[in-house]
Amino acid sequence: MIKMNLYLISQDENNGYDTCDSAVVAAPDENTALNMNPLNGKKVDWNVAEKYGAWAFHKESVCVKLIGSSIDDVQGVILASCTAS
């Protein structure tokens, strides 16, 4: 059994309708959490920011905070906070 860390990822660069401001994600390390798309858990390609228009445009705008650890090997988005139009 692999324990994953739980991180709160948040951004305030891209606000408005159809955007996400934060998410709780399970990841092995801070860098993996930083690069996780809160909509689908996939790795963000920061060179194609418009593809991820609901999230931050620059990884420097994402805040990552360790908040705990999981009890089993779950990895991905646990909960996302998004607004809808």
Gap between the Cα atoms of 19 and 32, Å rounded:
21
Residue 76 CB partners (closer than 8 Å, separation 6+) = 25, 26, 36, 41
Q: Can you give the pLDDT at residue 66?
A: 98
Q: Can you give the pLDDT at residue 71?
A: 75
Q: Can you give the pLDDT at residue 74?
A: 82
What would the pLDDT profile of 70-82 be if each residue is shown by its tens digit? 877 788 899 899 8
Q: Can you give the pLDDT at residue 6?
A: 96
Low-confidence ranges of the chain (pLDDT < 50): none
